[in-house]
Every structure is written in C-alpha cells, then in structure tokens.
A and B are shown apart, each in its own frame.
Chain A
Amino acid sequence: MSDRPRPLLLPALAAALPLVLLAALSLGAVTVSPLAVLRSALSALGLPARPMPEVQEVIVWSVRLPRVLAAALVGGGLAVVGASLQSLFRNPLADAGLLGVGPGAALGAVLAVNLGWAQQRFLALPVSACLGAFLALLLVYGLAHAGGRPSLPGLLLTGVAVSALAAAATSVLLVAIEEFRVRTILFWLAGGLEGRGFEHAALAAAFVIPGSTLLWLLARPLDVLTLGEEEAAALAVPVHTVRLAVFGICALVAGPVTAVAGSVPFVGLIAPHALRPLVGPLNRRLLPASFLAGAILVVAADLAARWLGDRVELPLGSVTAFVGAPYFLLALRGQEGTA
C-alpha cells in the first residue's frame, strides 16, 4: 500500500476537468471538433476567432453547455458530500443516501407529478424534490434526536428507516399515477440530465458551490472528528455543532443535486474512496480532489449515457451504477477493514 500523498494529483485533476468538459461539449449525436468549440468560445469572448455554424453554436452552447455544467456540479457536489459524510460517520460507506435525501427527493418529485404541479410550473418538479429531501432529513434528524443526543449508528439506522418509508410511499404513488406519467418519473428516478437547461445548472450551482466551499472550510474540524468523538472533544472541537453543520450543509447540497439529476448512485462513494489512497485522508486535500473527480466522473458518465444508447439515452444513474458497483465490490474485497 502506497500512502505517500501525491502532490501532483490535485493539479492533474484540475487540468483534466476542462478537457473532459470540452470533450463532452464536442461529442454527441452531432460531433463538433474540439478546436472549433474553443475557437467559438474565443469569438464569444470578443477575440478574433471564427464561430461555428449557427446549428452547431446552438447545439454546443444552448443544449450541451448547461447539461455539461449541471453534470459537473452534480458530480462534484455528490462527491464532496460523500467524502464529508464518510469523515463525519467515520465510515467509508457513508453517502447522501444515508440521510434519506435520495428517497425523500424521489417522493417529492412523484408527489409533484401526481398532484399535477409538475405540469403547471417549470421548476415545480426540482423544487418539490428539494423539499422532499429536506423533509426526509428533518425527519431523520428529529427522530434520531427524540431520545436525546443520538449515537452515529442511531442516526444511520434512522436514515435507513426513513429512506424505506419514503421509498414505500413512492411506490404507492407510482401505482396510483396515470400510465403516461410513469415514464417521466421512472426516468427521473433512474437519474438523468436529458433536457437540463441553464436554470437547472443555476439551481445546482446555487447550492453546490457555496455548500462545497463551506464543507472545505470545515475540513480541519472534520479531520479531528475522524480521530473519534472523545479525542475531538478533548482537542476543543465542538463535536455536536460541527456534526450538525456538516449534516445540514450536506443536505443542502444533496437535495438540489438530486432534484436536478435524479438518483446518481455511487459517485459519492467511489470518488473519495479511490482518492483517499492517493491524496491521503485529510479533508483539506480530499474534498477538492473529490469535487474534481466527481465532476469528471459524472460528465464522462453523462457523455457515455448520450453516446452508448442507440436512439434512446441510457439512464445516467445506471451508467454510474454499472461502473461504480463492480468497482466498489472489488475495492471492498481488496481492503476489507482499512478505512
């Protein structure tokens, strides 16, 4: 096991992200040369460069750009949330799903469709999904705190129970839904970024960027928390305040992200997991590296979802799960017991 942090990894990831973004802007049903995309970008900035033909300009800047930006924000947000929760719970398997955020968001979305809101207002679906995620979180936190300060396993188990409840309610609503709407919902549950516009990217950015920054500012207390609750308290970390803050910020990031992209599993697990041996467990380095790796992962997965499907797009969540689940099983077998 090589445990020396690699100082070049973070710059390498930072350099790789623009390349992946450029590839995702260029490739698709209509393939545009990356150089043409760069020239067009320069001309948009007022520099003397040649723009692309009108159709390609529309495809790259109006259709692909918001989707690619949304993908990067979704991936970055999920990975930072995953890494933070893993430090908080001192468990490499912790993920946004544990907070009940995913199932809560799904329930909110299905409700919005069922009640007809989603058809009346454009952002009704993501907003209800957000509300569903927050309500699930409040429920998890409230229930877990009902008998005083909860233990971490108590919180985790409450999260599992609330998730199961939300999933059960979602199933009931799905049965009751008109058949032609089931497809919309199913696609959303499977995760996807098809047809996401700038308003979706803006919604993700509004929560992911400040949220990730705040989590990064909490990196050091989070590091101390990984030493154990008692040691953290003895080193003057306000354990419960930090825990509540991290928990709340994670929900504020994961809720909107799930609302924008639906369920995108494994990103929050595998990005930090793969990076920890390379950059070490300290969050000041791990969180930015996770953000970049998560962004790259989801942009690439979304590109694959667009590309691999013949005529139809593959669900983004299935792509990340197809890659993530086997990786995760292998990783778990390879290093059982080393967190």
Chain B
Amino acid sequence: MNWHRFFHRRRSDAELQEEIRTYLEEETAENVARGMSIQEARRQARVKLGNPQRVREELWKQNTVATIDNLWRDLRYATRTLGRTPGFAAIAILVMALGIGANVALFTVVRSVLFNPLPFPAPNQLIALYGKSGTDNRGTVAAADFYDWQNGSHSFEQMAIWRWTGYNMAGDRNELPEFLQAVTCSWNLFSTLGAQPALGRSFVSTDDTDEASPTVILSWSFFKRRFNADSSIVGKTIRLNSQTYTVVGVFPQSFTYPDPKIQLWVPYHEGVPKVILHSHYSHTSHVIARLSPGVSLSRATQEVSAIQHGIFTRFGGDGPVTPAVVSLPLVQDIVGDAKAPLYILMAAVFCLLLIACLNLSNLLIARAVARRKEMAMRLALGGSRMRLIGQQITESVLICLSGGLLGIVLAAAAVRWLTMYWLDLPRADAIHIDATVLAFAVGITFLAGILSGVLPAMLFTGARVSAALQDSARTLGVSASKASLRKNLLTVEVALTVVLLVGAGLLFKSFLQLGAVDLGCATRNVLTMRYFLRGDSYSKPEQIVSFQTQLLERVRHSPGVAAAGLTDVVPGDGLYGDTTFSIPEHPPQPPEKRDGAVFRTADPGYFQAMQIPLVKGRFFTSSERLNNSNFVIINQKLAREYFPNEDPLGKHLAVSWRSPSPENYEIVGVVGDTRYLLNEPVRSMMWFPILSGIPGATADTALVVRSTTDPATLGIPIQKTIAGIDPDLPVSNVLTMQQVIGKSTANSSFEASLLGAFATLSLLLAAVGLFGVLSYLVAQRTGEIGIRIALGAQREQVLRLMLVDGLRPALIGLALGLVASAAVTRQIQSLLYGTRPLDPTVFGLVSLVLLVVAGAACVIPAWRASRLDPMRALRIE
C-alpha cells in the first residue's frame, strides 16, 4: 500500500491541486453569496485555506517512503556525476569488473574443488589409506596388504582397492584401435563410494574372483562416444586386449572416480596379475575406505597400521614391506597438490581487488575534496551525517555494482577458461557458477563499494569539516591532511603491488629454472609414442620380442630417422615405478635402510637414440634377450651412492622385477643420469633389457625416434608402420620430447603467467594512482609553486620537490611490500623450483621495476609543475 502510494505521488498531487482549486472556488462563491465583493471573497477564501503549498507538501510527505526516496535521489545524483566524467566512470567500472570477476572466478574454482563435498553419500566418512615408510607419506599399497587389512579390521563399513591400468581395444567394426585408460578395482569400489549404476548393475563379489568370467563397467563418456549411448550394450561383450569382456553396467556421467579420463572399470582379480595379487612387495594400488559410523579417522588408522606392522614383522628382513599406514580424508586425497596454487591465486586476486578499491577510494577522495564546501554547508544547515555519507557511498556502490555485473560475466568466461587450460585441476568437472557463487559476487561487490566509498565519505563529513567553510579562496595548502591520507592509501597500494610482483617473479623464475633443467638426454628432434603389448597375441616372450625387433628394424630404415630405441617410460614423463634392491656382494642391510631405485627397460639402441652417455661398461647387446637377459644397466647416481669406492661392473643387483622373489642381475654398464620428472631431483635408476620380452614387465613400450628433421612429421608414417605389423595395436601419446617436457612445465607456466597478469594489472593501477595523486597535489599547490618560482626557486628545485613528494609513498610502500613479501613468500615455497623464497634477483628486479614505473608516473606532473608560469599560477582562483 505504501508502495502504491509512493509510486503514485505525482498523480495524487495533481488531484490535490484540483481539489484545492475547487475548494477555493466554492469558498469564494459562498463568500460572494454572503455579500462580499469578488476580490474580498477570493481573499477570504485564500486566508481560510492557508498556504496551499504546505497542504501539498504535507500530502507528498505522507505518501513518501523516506529511505527509498533518498536512495533514489542519491542514485540519480551519482549517475549524473559519473555521466559527467564518462572516462573516469568507464575505467573505474572496468577495473572493478576485473577485480570482482577474478575474485568470483577463483572463488568458484576454490569452492568447487576444495570445499564442495564429494558427490557421494556421507562423503565425510570416505578416506584414503597409504603406506608410510621413511619420508614417503603417499606410498601405494600392496594387494596382499590390502586383503589383510580388509579381513582384520573392524573400523570400516567397506574398504576397496584400485590401480591404474589400460586396455587396447581393437576396432570390431573398422574403428581405429584405441588405448583406453582404465581402473582395475575390487568389486566393492562403487558401493564403498555409494555410487549407483545408470544402466545394468555394479560389480558383485563373484565378479572379482580368479574363476569369474571377465566383466567390465563402462564410463558414461565412453558409452556415449563409442557405443552411441545404445543401452543394448549392457549384457553384450566387447574385446579388450583381444579378450572378451561382458559389459555388466554403465555408470552415470557424474561418476568419474578416480579421474574423468577413466573409460572402464575392470574387477581387480581380472586386471591384476596373480603375482601381484598375492604380493606384499608390489606396491601398486590405492586403497579407499568408508569409516563405520562413530569411528574416528585416527582410531581406524591405528587399527590398520597395527595390522600392517604385524605384516612388517612377519616379513621382516625378507623384502620391501611397508612399515606403517597413514590416512587422509578422500577429498584431500583427490584435491592433492592443487590446494597451494589455488589458495595463492585466491589471495592474489583478493589483493588485486583491494588495490582496485584503494584506487577508487583515492579517486573519490579527489572528487570529494572538490565538494568539501558543499558538504560543510549542508552539515552546517543541519543535513544529517548519515545522509551525506550515504550519498557519497552511493557513487562508489554504483561503480562497484556496474563493475560487479560486468565482473560476473567475466567470471563466467574465466571459469570456463580456467577449467579448460588448467591441466590436472582435480574435480574440474564439478566446477560451475551457482547461487552461492552469485551471492558471493553480490557480497563482494557491496563490500568493495562500501570499502572504497566509506573512507572519503567519513572524511568529508567529519566534525572538523566546518573548517572548510572558513577557508578563503586564497588559502594555500589547505587540504594537506587529505593529501596525506591519499598518500597513505597509495603506500598500501604500492606495498600490495610489490607483494604480488614478488610472488609472480618467484614463480616466473621457477618456470625459467624448470625450462633450463637438463633432462640428461636429447630433447630436440625426438618423437615418442606409447603402446602396450597385451592380450593373446603377446602372451609369450617370443611374440613380444618378435614384434619389437621387427618394428625397430622397419623404423630405423624409414626416411628421416636418425636413430630409434625402445623403453617403457621416457625421461621427464613420470616416475611410474620404483622398487627396492639389494647387492649380493655387499653385507645385507636392514629392511628400513634399503633404498629403492626407479626401474626402466631399454633395448640395446635406446641410450644412443636418446643420446644418454655411456659412462662405463657397455650397453645391452642384441644377444641379451629372452632367457639370456639377467643383465642390468645403472645410472651414475646409483653407482655413486651404492658403489662409492668400487667398480660396479660385474657386481649384481638382486631385484624382484619379473618374479615375486628377487633374482640377480649382473651390472654391465653405467649411464648418465636422467630425470624422471623435470622438477624432481635425479634418483637412482636401473635399466632392464626390454628384449627379455617378459609379458607384463616389458609390455609397456615407448618408442623413441630421433629424426634428422622436424620430428612431428614422422608421427603418421611410424604409426602406419606399426599398423602394418599389428593393425589392432593402438598407439597413444604421440608426442615430441619438447611436448613431454611441456606437460611438466605447463602448470608452472600457467601459475606464473596468471599471477604475473594480476601483478601487472596492480602495477598499472598503482601507477595510475601515483599519477593521479601527484597531479592533484600539483593542482592544489599551483599557487604555492607560483609563489616559490616568483620568489626565485629554480625549476629543478620545484621538479625535485614534487618528485620527492610523489615518490615518498612509493618508496615507503616498496619497503613495506618487500618486508611483507619476505614474510609471505615462504607460503609459496611448495610451488617454487630452484628458487629460494627470498631470491635476491627477484626482489631486486621487482624494486627496480616498481621504481621505474613510479618514477614515470610522477615525472609528468612534477615536470608540469616546474614549467608553471608564476604569473598565471598566481592569478588562478
């Protein structure tokens, strides 16, 4: 009702005027009837009515909702003010949009990835269990350990095990053969997580036994892509590794555990070799579990750890058994390493927004100064302070509101971009803008508006403001205190900018360091591709060796190929596997002191193809194959560490590589160190002959080809060569070595460039702020400078005076920023590579850049001041 009245005030007023007119006429008529003259009658009527304006005002007020009315007026006023300076308004809105947009985007990602519960029922009860030995807190679990845990523990509703695997799928209907990333898991993985199939059924315990016929569950994306979402596939069979598997179910799109790239799930007994299934030594799998209600994480972990300790004691000294168990909530396990960069970026964008707010605040102060007399006058006339503050805040809220709207649009785009280009971002499929995010956006918008508006508003409506009324037009340097406030704001702004610049600088230096790391092998003109020799056609060593040698022969004779070799994993592509070993010639070591080495396979030509130098001894020979293959090549690191004062050649390593119990391998050569990952230190490494042809152990192959020209052009011909030998064999990861390295530097470059962009933006804002404040100061002090010059001050003196005035906040801000950076950079240590958090180069460069930019921003207004014509300056005002 109020509202109705409020919005119909105008009509109501018009009617009232009409009524008043009627009244006057009636009254006049009556007075005339009483015998008055027409003039007197009219006069009397007017006297009787009183002031019609008051009546109108009365009604108008009665119809008005005061707050809305004020707000409306403030809004109109603010719009007009902004409209008068469209350039300022556009820039302010754009800056706010960037700040708010970046915050909303990062908030969306952080919330979805770190804080949203996993898409499973009662996700808080889900945990991941890992082996703990030495400093390794994320040791994968041996299958036999898992079965002991499962049988011996009482803290869990369910416990499940899984490991990464992959299958070759031949094209039955002329499709290309493809390699499918898959998971082999205990039957209860799905029920542990609480996931239900979209079609068919989940695994049951009878699927996960030695005798069960092979079954498979499809992911939704694979089901859609390869089978056109035809639900009749359930119950039918597909061929994986040339073996027949019955499709029992399809899981919905929402289920992507452990990774959206997974296409298939296969029962654990089906997917894992018997040797590994009953081994306490082969640590290959991940374990997840659902806690029983009321059981705490620590109690459950203690229980499992006790079981594991029992196993450790039972096998003590006989092989690599994990001594203890650690656990963590499943969500943390999934989020993993993404946490640190996410938090850092979130902090960075928040800094950016803060800087944007400070800048806006600064600009608004400048504007408020111009209106201080008006404000003082209104206060003196009894205007309420709240009203005046409200009016000033409206302007900044209006800017922020427009910025916020634009920012949400930007954020939507940014979120899309982030999820697309941020490789390895976990839970990327769960990221989306929802109501909470929008609420956050609205909240942060108003916060920004109030933050940037409140300071100027408070300042210019304060009690002392009436002093402004006393200022005469000739008073010089009146608003020194206002200017110093602006300088303080600038100082904070500069300090924040420095922190961002230092952070970005450190990350960028890490990225450069990573790029400069020597992998230990050829990285130019090298093409790699992977394939997996599995299934019936590769169940005997002879079949594998025959394929490999045939392929090598053909590739080596292809045009453009300088050298070719085979391994299982190329340098820089990951750890893949390590195992413990012992040296029969040395006294036995206690199990906890045994160290592991990364294991790799190689053919005789691999090292030359990759230009990995031979330090000592020889490479494998072509006769060292099949059963005559108990030889091993070690890297320098292993030689230095385990054979410090002796010749490793002719000694042996006892390793359980292709068999559950250790076998002796004779060391025939020592080669140069290579890195398994660019940003990890070199580890001990041992190489076994790939031509031993052991199914399983040597089936995973990476073909490397060093070319004489652009390696990428060799991709298609070599794939055709492979198809010429086995048309059903899928080839994956056709990458040049540069691309392999690029994968491991991608995240680091991504983080560095994002933070770099934020830092650049804030530097720009700080520069604009400096320029604005100094220009303002010059304008303020025009008269004073005029007097100085008139009294004989040199231009250089004036220039220096103004420069110092402008640079002081920059210098103080720089000092504060450096101190703050020193305190903060330790937090990003985990993201740094080969760079110390207090890297002097970075700190020095940042200081230099800041000084140059600040100097450039100050020099124009300062120069302008020194060029002032004293006569004109004094005549101003």
Q: Do A and B bind each other?
A: no
Q: Which B residues have a C-beta under 8 Å from some C-beta of A? A: none
